[in-house]
């Protein structure tokens, strides 16, 4: 009897440990639900990506529809080429635009898509032509100071 209750508590202990791991993986961490084959890739060129990082979310109207797959620099134009993995169930017109925005003042940066009106959809390997770069706080401040100095 005593052995049985001991076995039961040990079993409970192991289950609790595994449940804690599952909670850490699912609730605390972000297991990427975007599997291979469920997404298509499009690229967008930006003049400045600010501090955008790969794995940052791609959203439409605030809803997450994909993530940033890779960030490289075009060796000819010297613009940043951002590859976006977008879930296949979402289709966007070819003249959609992409902008890099910040969540809150000090929050992380993500890519926000605004759908256009074209009848043709973006395909795998397609390119988003209308982009808006990240707002770099230092540049705004220096512009502000410059315009102030111009007034006085």
Partner 1 sequence: MSAITRVTAGIQHLGRRVIDGTSRLGRATLFLARLVPGLGAVLLRARLIVQQLYMTGVLTLVIILVSGAFVGMILALEGYNTLVKYDAQSSLGLLVALSLTRELGPVLTALLFAGRAGSALTAEIGLMKATEQLAGMEMMAVDPLVRVVAPRFWAGWIAVPLLAMIFTAVGILGAYVVAVGALGLDGGVFWSQMQSGVSVTNDVMGGLIKSAVFGFVISWIAVFEGYDAKPTSEGVSRATTRTVVSSSLAILGLDFIMTAFMLRGL
User: Least distance in Å: CB of 80 to partner 1?
Assistant: 22
Q: Round to whole Å and give the CA distance between 115 and 26.
A: 31
Interface of this chain with partner 1, residues 54 to 73, rule: CB under 8 A: 57
- Nearest CA-CA partner of 84 in 114, 118, 113, 107: 113
User: Would you give the binding string for partner 1 spanning residues 92-131, x where CB under 8 A is met?
Assistant: ------------xxxxx-----------------------
Q: Are 100 and 109 in contact (CB under 8 A)?
A: yes
Give the length of the chain: 152
Q: Round to whole Å and give the CA distance between 53 and 88.
A: 22
**By the rule CB under 8 A, 141 interacts with partner 1:** no
Q: Which residues bind partner 1 (CB under 8 A)?
A: 3, 6-7, 9-10, 13-14, 16-21, 23-25, 27-31, 57, 104-108
């Amino acid at each position: 009897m005593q052995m049985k209750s001991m076995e039961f508590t040990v079993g409970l202990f192991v289950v609790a440990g595994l449940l804690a791991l599952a909670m850490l993986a699912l609730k605390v961490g972000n297991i990427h639900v975007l599997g291979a084959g469920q997404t298509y890739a499009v690229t967008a060129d930006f003049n400045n990506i600010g501090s955008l990082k790969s794995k940052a979310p791609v959203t439409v109207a605030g809803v997450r529809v994909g993530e940033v797959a890779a960030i490289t620099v075009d060796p000819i134009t010297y613009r940043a080429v951002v590859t976006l993995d977008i879930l296949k169930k979402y289709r966007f017109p070819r003249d959609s635009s992409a902008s890099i925005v910040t969540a809150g003042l000090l929050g992380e940066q993500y890519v926000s898509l605004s759908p256009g009106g074209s009848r043709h959809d973006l395909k795998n390997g397609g390119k988003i032509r209308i982009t808006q770069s990240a707002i770099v706080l230092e540049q705004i401040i220096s512009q502000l100071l410059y315009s102030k100095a111009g007034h006085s």
